[in-house]
Chain A
Amino acid sequence: MSKLTLCEMGVMDDYIQISGLHKTFHTRSGPIQVLKGIDLTVRKGEIFGIIGFSGAGKSTLARCINRLETPDSGSIKVGGVEILNLSKKQLLQERKKIGMIFQTFNLFEAKTVYHNISYPLEISKIPKPEIRKRVLETAELVGLSDKLNAYPGGLSGGQKQRVGIARALVSRPNLLISDEATSALDPQTTLQILDLLKEINRTTGITILMITHELDAIRYTCDRMAVLEDGKIIEVGTVREIFNNPLSRTGALFTKVFTEFQRITEFENGSGI
């Protein structure tokens, strides 16, 4: 909460600045305009949520930030660096400062948990003892110290995502992009992973960009949020503002769904989520 007040006071710097971002996919059935001029600012150290229905362009937006997708036009600045002007070599360096976690975890099944986490450091040619130290540290942080020799194939969904988080964090990035990271997990595990993200945000000050269609996840985790609909940002604000004043159709719809959902769970459990 104290962080939120800091945000509101405008003490925190902007970390991601996106302006005029356009992206069109050329498919066989014609061009599809996925991003139609996105302007967005994410502040340093905050957990920022982007919510929208499937096909709204959330993932494309996230993937433009580390240039897994190349936008047609616009500008993306991360920590003051213009991502869209980087040379190939600079891009590889810049990607090491942006961690990413995925809905399907995307772990390397040929590698043990240890080597999944150590891989980002190995390709950065960091000396072995240093790698070992940082892998152990990061594994401890995500609570996987006892699973280092296991292969991902033998882990539960929650554990897999912890490996994903550790792999994304081990090179000490300043930004973590979470692309529907909890969408494949059960509610209890989702809560644990969200707690972990909050904890990491609190202890390391890392900026987290959370892409999701799960309203509870945003409400539980984020400081500020944006609503994405049909390739445009239709609303930005603190989570509280948007929930209390849903002007947008998506916001209204989500809030309606959420209130309904809450009413049912309250009825069933005798308490909220």
Chain B
Amino acid sequence: MSLLDTPIWEVIKGSFAPDIWVRLVPAVGETLYMTVVSSIIMLVFGLLLGILLTVTNPDGLVPMKILYTGSGWLINALRSLPQMIMIILMIPVARLFFGKSYGTNACIISIAASCIPMYARIVENSLLEISKGKIEAAKSIGSTNFQIIFRILIPETLPSLIRGFTVAVIAVISMTALAGMFGAGGIGDIAVRFGYQRFQHDVLFASVYVLIALVQLVQWIGNFTSKQILKKRNLI
């Protein structure tokens, strides 16, 4: 069904047809797979990089100006690349890891590469929210820097870290849709192949529903978890 020859409500009605969803379900699986794996990679590296930025900050635990400025510059450089260009740049890297430059796994690399710098900045912002007094208290007790980072800094800023991760996961989801154009499969792939190239707008609509639902779900989980933690700590 196309909007070119069918009224919009007919297309909407048609977008709930079972044959469309039979085609969509495996794509949803691929999207979920890409999102989960990319998000985990992003979480690990983004968190480490965010901690590095916070700790080496001139006002941080271990001020290291060169490392701080250097990593900050690198992150800004990577962030200024449009995601599409990042995907193209990552093709040789993906070939190195998986032996081919297309497919779901290959695209995970470019998604992670594109989202890690962004998430590192989000982590940095969250970690900087901690009051200096808490760090001083931890120091006065005789904590090592390692203990301050993992037993004070991260737990204290956890609600903010979770909200930041939610934002980042949503960016990953939108990026999986883009990666669909480059042979990553998933919902984006379906939307482009059927919705754009073959004017099957009912399929396009169906994939939009799924993406909206996915983003809503992620946002809801993030908000809920962060709120529960604040409630438990008697902070709201």
A residues with CB within 8 A of B: 66, 68, 92-96, 98-100, 102, 104, 106-111, 119-120, 123-124, 150-154, 164, 167-168, 171
Complex: how many Å from CA A120 to CA B139? 10
Among residues of B, the one whose C-beta sits closest to the C-beta of A121 is B141
Q: B233 is contacted by which of A96, A98, A153 (Cβ under 8 Å)? A: A153
Among residues of A, the one whose C-beta sits closest to the C-beta of B232 is A151
Q: Are the CB atoms of A102 and B142 closer together than 8 Å?
A: no
B residues with CB within 8 A of A: 131, 133-134, 136-144, 147, 151-152, 155-156, 158, 232-235
Q: Are the CB atoms of A68 and B156 closer together than 8 Å?
A: no
Among residues of B, the one whose C-beta sits closest to the C-beta of A153 is B234
Q: Are the CB atoms of A123 and B156 closer together than 8 Å?
A: no
**What is the CB-to-nearest-CB distance from A96 to chain B, in angstroms, rounded to a whole number?**
4
Q: B131 is contacted by which of A99, A104, A152, A154 (Cβ under 8 Å)? A: A104
Q: What are 11 sample pairs from A and B whose C-beta atoms fall under 8 A apart?
A: A93-B142, A95-B142, A99-B140, A100-B137, A104-B131, A109-B233, A123-B143, A123-B144, A123-B147, A151-B233, A164-B137
Q: Are the CB atoms of B141 and A120 closer together than 8 Å?
A: yes
Among residues of B, the one whose C-beta sits closest to the C-beta of A66 is B140
Q: A119 is contacted by which of B139, B141, B158 (Cβ under 8 Å)? A: B141
Q: Which residues of A contact B147 (CB under 8 A)?
A: 123
Complex: how many Å from CA A110 to CA B139? 17
* B131, B152, B233, B235 pick with most chain A CB within 10 angstroms: B233
Q: Are the CB atoms of B141 and A106 closer together than 8 Å?
A: no
Q: Are the CB atoms of B141 and A154 closer together than 8 Å?
A: no
**What is the CB-to-nearest-CB distance from A118 to chain B, in angstroms, rounded to a whole number?**
11
Complex: how many Å from CA A71 to CA B177? 57
Among residues of A, the one whose C-beta sits closest to the C-beta of B159 is A110
Q: Which residues of A contact B144 (CB under 8 A)?
A: 92, 123
Q: Which residues of B contact A109 (CB under 8 A)?
A: 156, 233, 235
**What is the CB-to-nearest-CB distance from A163 to chain B, in angstroms, rounded to a whole number?**
11
Q: Are the CB atoms of B142 and A106 closer together than 8 Å?
A: no
Q: B140 is contacted by which of A98, A150, A152 (Cβ under 8 Å)? A: A98
Q: Are the CB atoms of A92 and B142 closer together than 8 Å?
A: yes
**What is the CB-to-nearest-CB distance from A156 to chain B, in angstroms, rounded to a whole number?**
12
**What is the CB-to-nearest-CB distance from B140 to chain A, in angstroms, rounded to a whole number?**
4
Among residues of A, the one whose C-beta sits closest to the C-beta of B134 is A106
Complex: how many Å from CA A96 to CA B233? 27
Q: Which residues of B contact A94 (CB under 8 A)?
A: 142
Complex: how many Å from CA A146 to CA B152? 24
Among residues of A, the one whose C-beta sits closest to the C-beta of B143 is A123
